[in-house]
Amino acid sequence: SISTKMVLAFLCHTVVATPCRVLYSSVFGDDLQQALIEGAQYDSLRSIRKDQLMQVACRVQAEFGFRLACRDSDGSESVLDLADKGFLRLSPGDPFLTSKAVIWQVTDSCAYVMICELDENRLQAESILALLVRLIQVHVVAGEQRTLEILLKGDKMAAILHQFLPCGHILFLNSKAVAQYEKQLEKLIVGK
Amino acid sequence: MATKGDLYQQARSVDGKDFDDWVQLVQNTLQLNDRGQQCLTLLRQLCVFVSVTKYSRNLAPTLYALLQNVVLEPEQGPPRIRLMASCILRELCPSDNIAVKDFNPPVEESNIPYMLPVLLAQTNGRGRISQLALEIFRWLTETGYEEELCLVALSSLYAICSHKRALEKFSEDHFRALNLQMMGWLKQANCSSAQMPSSSIFSAGGKKQMFPVKEIDGSVSQNLFTLLSIGGYYSSDQLLNIHVFSFLRRWTLVTHMMRVGVAPSPAPDYKDMERSVSCQSRDGFRSTSVTSAFNVAGSLRLQSSLSNPLSSIPNPLPATPLGGTTQQTPMASLVGRARQQLREAVVQYCLRVLDQCERKPPKTAEDDLALACLYESIAILDVQCTVHRGLLSAVFPTCKKMYTRWAQDSAVIPNLLLVMVKFLVRHSDSEVFDMQAPLENIFGRVLGSQFANFSFAFDTVDYLLENQEALCRHSTAIFTRFFPNFLKILAWAPVTYVTEFLQLLPSFISTSTALEVLHSLLDLPCLAAILQIQQLCQDGSTKPVYACCMAAFQDTSNKLLFRHYLRLESGRGDTIDRLGLLHQLLGDLSQHPRVNGAAEITPLLLRVYFQTVLYGRDAGVISQVVGAVLERSTLLFAIPAFQEGIKRVFAEQLLEFFKTYPNLVVDFHRDVQEHLSNLRTLATGGEPLYLHLAWAVGTYTHICYNPQCTSNITMEFFETLELAAYEVAMGHRQKPAYTTRLVLTLMSALAKLASRSQDLIPRTLLCLNKLVQLTTAENPSVGAGASSCKVLLGHASELVNVLKMPTIAIQVLSPTPSKEKGWDEQQARTTRILQSVVHLVQTNKEHQTPSTPSGGPPP
């Protein structure tokens, strides 16, 4: 009965390059219970966390690869630019103590992933993920280096999450509230 | 432009003195008061250096302290610098170097929100989580804190409250205060709002003008403020109202579980909850107070439109205080009252949201939000009703009516239907509601058309897994009835759900469905192919390679064939007549990734299937399954790797079946014979199956295993094996060659049969000699061929020598099964006999310790 949080982590990673690279990650949750139970040293917890996130990223990459292969075979245009999204279930102990839901969206060859508790409202989580992706596109990926900017402009990523996924909390924001928060976000990003 | 790989590698490779010097530069910059662009650039680079590797960068504790100061202390630069510092610290978590003792000055209150994510990422293993919870409590309940801090504090509490130790320092008074606070946020948010401040320099200054908030349809709101109330610029009380909505479900669960003494868990365990609820009912629930609460913010439109008699709430449950004593202390009473007030506010709020969503015009900017709110409101009501059954009579009829309307509306998204079905099913016992129809609808018709909807597929699999035990107990037979539909999810997304279906599969199998499940699994690649063609037809694909498949799919003469695979429910158990034809029709799709994905996972599923069937120990079912396995081993979709994989599993499992039920060899003698007489069954990985069948025939064609075993059957088997052995021996030197193991197994099987029917001994001796001649004709003197010749010669001579002494042969080759004696003992006995035989016949010295005398594949 050890418990964790609702949105455990948010991450962005590459989907077409090998090896898979995590460009940005933010962990809100108590993701290390499994490691603690297994008696991991405190010093190694960070590296375990990184491995866990990489494990999830690789699964998303595989999922997307499958999706892409199917699309290729179907003869539909191989469209990396279109938003593609999906869900995954992580089994208990693999890599987190309890089962988790993974919600992902691929835009511009970058995967945006939320790892949530199973009882999270996935409809809203999906909307928030789409919103985060849109904001990242506007504020972060706009530069010449595109997805690489996610790695280089950690402050902007942090600002977006701070405003729209505070402490991993999935909010039910209507369009007016989103507009209001976007103004605050702009202040945060350009704020002197 | 650097590629990602390059940058990653570059950043990783910066180490040693270069890196230390650079870090020193960062430290120096942070110690200066300059918080400009250079500082930001350095911090961004630091973030990259830290985040690209999982190994420690051994940063000095001073740097941690400096970063922490930047995040928390006043005059440390603009928010983006603080955010960057917070981002780096979070990236370094968990670390002993990060510690916030308290939030007293010089910590600036407005900066605490930047630090909270760092504290959350520190993990709770060592963290001072209960202390943090108390701080959060203070920020939430005491006046005078900044709005921003309250909002982030609420989110932080949401994140940590389910941790088993987070609320351990909370007293009843803490809970009471928080419950009342939340109730206030839910009920007392302002119903007017200011205009969004214009960014134009010409915007009018002065006092902000307030406007009433609006409903989604644009009409002026007359009712309670909710997250669906459309305003201009939301004030802090309104934002708290919006934020607290997503907090309600978790908070209800956590506080309830704490009250009943169960440590909170991430996934609500409703079973435990129901048990605890049934043996305790802590709060008084007075119908009058609920009714009045509902009437506070004006009469609910929903109430009248759905003619929901809220006043008909049943008598309150007897109130018992916290701690389980019968005497209610004044404090417990206050706590209970606060909880009750919050509960009333929550239910009122959720019903209001349901009402707002129901009255929403078809197309608005809030469409997605309205769906998510409906979903959340139903889920909250579900939790509330589970915790407090007294609410059911008020909530259930509303939900039932909504469901009835939704079930007939194809525009309603399936996830919503499912969450409503969850609610109805969970409470069907209390409300005497027949859950059959909703379950049939959702897992039949709806799933039949929505299996490719990723979101719904996930929800369905999740529901089935989380409720697997309960659904198996119900008389609704969901799994055994709708598994053909469930398998569509798997066939469509085999990579995604294989683990989940390995867990679900045993629930599909019953005495009546075992056979159908087997066929469905074997046809999983076909199902994937058919679903794919269906999709291609719907999309109007013009890819020439699939033109034939698509034409076949649309051909009316094949309609029944395809409809069988697209069926919603179980009921057709047998091998279908035109399976070969279907495989041909689908041939062009055998390279499709979806079909290959399904083919790859089928052997895994089959193993679980056979384990389940064996575990069930139902002789009737096993008999059916053995028949089907023999039949289907030659009727598999034409993907070589798939065929090999399936036949390998068949071989292993048939052996298990025959060992457990030896009588089946004779029961299925016609099928077995047919399989053995057709050497084409050896193609594409068929040898292990063939070999195990031959072994089983040799070992179990015996009257002591099956009274139906006649000399005729033994004779027929003998003749089949004899013929097969000759053919195999002749082909032994050809390419691709049959293995030596196969020849050895056939020799042993023949000798075993002969040992039981002694008329056959002369014929067997002749046959063994001929086999040796044929297989060792070329007799290479070196290499693998030489050693195989040696083995064949040795084995044949052992068998010949044993068969020359019929009374000993029957002891050695056909030991009677003994119930008392174990396998080891029997083996030991056989070995003893054999040793004496060896001694007697004085064969040549190299065969003095013969191995596996009974021959064949060691089981």
Please tell me the predicted confidence (pLDDT) of residue B781.
57
Among A17, A175, A183, beta carbon nearest to B365: A175
Spatial neighbors of A2 by CB under 8 A, at least 6 apart, are A30, A33, A37, A97, B164, B263, B265
What's the pLDDT tens digit per position in B675-708?
998 888 887 788 889 999 999 999 999 888 888 8
How many cross-chain Cβ pairs, A to B, lie less than 8 Å apart? 291
- Contact of A172 with chain B, judged by CB distance below 8 Å, is answered with yes
> What's the whole-number mean pLDDT along residues B791-805?
86
- Contact of A58 with chain B, judged by CB distance below 8 Å, is answered with no
Of A57, A62, A113, A59, residue with least CA distance to A85: A113
Alpha-carbon span B195 to B178, nearest angstrom? 31
Cβ of B593 and A32 within 8 Å?
no
* CB-CB neighbors (< 8 A) of B211 in chain A: none
Nearest Cα of chain B lies from the Cα of A154 at a distance, in angstroms, of 6
Prior bond to B736 cis, omega within 30? yes
Please tell me the predicted confidence (pLDDT) of residue B282.
31
Q: With 60 as the cut, is the pLDDT of residue B843 above it? A: no
Structure tokens at B388: 């407090």
Q: What is the DSSP string of B546-596?
A: GHHHHHHHH-GGGHHHHHHHT-SS----SPPTTHHHHHHHTGGGTT-HHHH
3-state secondary structure of B309: coil
* CB-CB neighbors (< 8 A) of B366 in chain A: 174-175
Among B5, B78, B196, beta carbon nearest to A179: B196
The lowest-confidence range among B4-18, B47-61, B798-812, B830-844 is B830-844
Prior bond to A19 cis, omega within 30? yes
Of B118, B237, B109, B131, residue with least CA distance to B181: B237
Among A14, A91, A121, beta carbon nearest to B372: A121
Among A4, A49, A87, beta carbon nearest to B455: A87
- Contact of A39 with chain B, judged by CB distance below 8 Å, is answered with no
3-state secondary structure of A13: strand
Among A51, A119, A123, beta carbon nearest to B415: A123
- Contact of A106 with chain B, judged by CB distance below 8 Å, is answered with no
Cβ of B155 and A169 within 8 Å?
yes
Q: Which range, A3-12, B23-32, B488-497, has the best average confidence (pLDDT)?
A: B488-497
Q: What is the DSSP string of B251-313?
A: HHHHHHHHHTT----SS--HHHHHHHHHH---S---HHHHHHHHHHTS--HHHHHTT--GGG-
**Which of the residues B1, B76, B80, B533 would you substitute to probe the A interface, choosing the one with the greatest number of A C-beta atoms within 10 Å?**
B80
Of B673, B574, B685, residue with least CA distance to B638: B685
> What's the whole-number mean pLDDT along residues A18-43?
83
Please tell me the predicted confidence (pLDDT) of residue B278.
33
Q: DSSP label at B76?
A: S
Q: DSSP label at B444?
A: I
Cross-strand pairs, A86:
A104
Checking DSSP bridges between strand B210-212 and strand A84-90, what pairing results, if any? Answer: unpaired
Helix axes B687-700, B640-660, angle to 10 degrees: 10
Please tell me the predicted confidence (pLDDT) of residue B313.
27
3-state secondary structure of B56: coil
Cross-strand pairs, A85:
A105
Q: How far is CA B466 from CA A116, B251, B609, in A?
A: 16, 21, 20
Cβ of A119 and B542 within 8 Å?
no
Please tell me the predicted confidence (pLDDT) of residue B842.
56
Nearest Cα of chain B lies from the Cα of A164 at a distance, in angstroms, of 11
Alpha-carbon span B379 to B382, nearest angstrom? 5
Of A57, A29, A2, residue with least CA distance to A168: A29
Cβ of A191 and B79 within 8 Å?
yes
> What's the whole-number mean pLDDT along residues B752-756?
90
* CB-CB neighbors (< 8 A) of A23 in chain B: 4
* CB-CB neighbors (< 8 A) of A123 in chain B: 368, 371-372, 375, 415, 455
Alpha-carbon span B229 to B766, nearest angstrom? 95
Cross-strand pairs, A26:
A10
Higher pLDDT, B410 or A186: A186
Of A130, A136, A119, A120, residue with least CA distance to A170: A120
What's the pLDDT tens digit per position in B252-268?
888 888 777 665 444 43
Among B78, B227, B500, beta carbon nearest to A174: B227
Checking DSSP bridges between strand A22-27 and strand B192-194, what pairing results, if any? Answer: unpaired
For A150, half-sphere exposure in the C-beta direction (CA atoms, 13 angstrom radius) is 29
Among B80, B263, B265, beta carbon nearest to A189: B80
Cβ of B246 and A32 within 8 Å?
no
Checking DSSP bridges between strand A100-107 and strand A84-90, what pairing results, if any? Answer: antiparallel
Cβ of B250 and A6 within 8 Å?
yes
Cβ of B156 and A158 within 8 Å?
no
Q: How far is CA B149 from CA B83, B270, B350, B431, B761, in A?
A: 15, 34, 26, 44, 94
In chain B, % of residues over pLDDT 70: 83
* CB-CB neighbors (< 8 A) of B415 in chain A: 122-123
Q: How far is CA B755 from CA B604, B708, B800, B805, in A?
A: 39, 19, 11, 9
**Mean pLDDT value across chain B:** 81
Tell me the pTM: 0.86
Structure tokens at A16: 């077409």
Nearest Cα of chain A lies from the Cα of B7 at a distance, in angstroms, of 9
Helices (H) and strands (E) in chain B, counts: 42, 2
Nearest residue of B to residue A16 by CA position? B4
B307 confidence band (pLDDT: 50, 70, 90): very low
Query: Is the alpha carbon torsion for B306, B311, B312, B317 positive or negative?
Result: positive
Among B116, B372, B597, beta carbon nearest to A66: B597
3-state helix/strand/coil string of B706-748 = CCCCCHHHHHHHHHHHHHHHHHHHHHCCCCCCCCHHHHHHHHH
What's the pLDDT tens digit per position in B554-578?
888 888 888 888 989 888 756 667 8
**Which of the residues A61, A97, A167 would you substitute to probe the B interface, choosing the one with the greatest number of B C-beta atoms within 10 Å?**
A167
The lowest-confidence range among B386-400, B422-436, B819-833 is B819-833
Q: With 90 as the cut, is the pLDDT of residue B507 above it? A: yes
For B214, half-sphere exposure in the C-beta direction (CA atoms, 13 angstrom radius) is 15
* CB-CB neighbors (< 8 A) of B88 in chain A: 154
For B68, half-sphere exposure in the C-beta direction (CA atoms, 13 angstrom radius) is 20
Nearest residue of A to residue B257 by CA position? A1
B595 confidence band (pLDDT: 50, 70, 90): very high
* Total residues belonging to chain A: 192
Alpha-carbon span B421 to B530, nearest angstrom? 29
Cross-strand pairs, B830:
none
Cross-strand pairs, A7:
A116
- B151-154's contacts with Cβ under 8 Å and 24+ in sequence apart are B151/A166, B151/B113, B151/B236, B151/B239, B151/B240, B151/B243, B152/A166, B152/A167, B152/B112, B152/B113, B152/B116, B153/B116, B154/A169, B154/B240, B154/B243, B154/B244, B154/B247
Nearest Cα of chain B lies from the Cα of A92 at a distance, in angstroms, of 11
Q: How far is CA B226 from CA A137, B214, B643, in A?
A: 30, 10, 59
Nearest Cα of chain A lies from the Cα of B221 at a distance, in angstroms, of 15
Alpha-carbon span B39 to B32, nearest angstrom? 10
Please tell me the predicted confidence (pLDDT) of residue B85.
93
Q: Are A6 and A121 in contact, with CB atoms under 8 Å apart?
A: no
Among B55, B81, B262, beta carbon nearest to A47: B55
**Which of the residues B42, B354, B381, B454 would you substitute to probe the A interface, choosing the one with the greatest number of A C-beta atoms within 10 Å?**
B454
Q: Examine the predicted complex and report whether its ipTM is higher than 0.85.
A: yes
Structure tokens at B586: 């689908």
Cβ of B164 and A3 within 8 Å?
yes
Nearest Cα of chain B lies from the Cα of A41 at a distance, in angstroms, of 11
Spatial neighbors of A69 by CB under 8 A, at least 6 apart, are B593
Nearest residue of A to residue B532 by CA position? A74
* CB-CB neighbors (< 8 A) of A122 in chain B: 415, 455, 458-459
Nearest Cα of chain B lies from the Cα of A112 at a distance, in angstroms, of 16
> What's the whole-number mean pLDDT along residues A14-21?
84
> What's the whole-number mean pLDDT along residues B797-813?
84
Higher pLDDT, B4 or B637: B637
Nearest residue of B to residue A155 by CA position? B84
Q: What is the enclosing helix (H) or strand (E) of B400?
A: helix B392-407
Structure tokens at B527: 């199902």
* Total residues belonging to chain B: 859
Nearest residue of B to residue A99 by CA position? B267
Alpha-carbon span B579 to B177, nearest angstrom? 68
Please tell me the predicted confidence (pLDDT) of residue B650.
94
Q: Are A38 and A52 in contact, with CB atoms under 8 Å apart?
A: no
B322 confidence band (pLDDT: 50, 70, 90): very low
Nearest Cα of chain B lies from the Cα of A56 at a distance, in angstroms, of 13
Alpha-carbon span B535 to B589, nearest angstrom? 13
Higher pLDDT, A43 or A1: A43
- Buried/exposed code over A19-45 (b: 16+ C-beta within 10 A; e: otherwise): ebbbbbbbbbbbbbbbbbeeeeeeeeb
Alpha-carbon span B443 to B157, nearest angstrom? 37
**Which of the residues B136, B139, B158, B167 would you substitute to probe the A interface, choosing the one with the greatest number of A C-beta atoms within 10 Å?**
B158
B845 confidence band (pLDDT: 50, 70, 90): very low
Among B163, B536, B542, beta carbon nearest to A30: B163
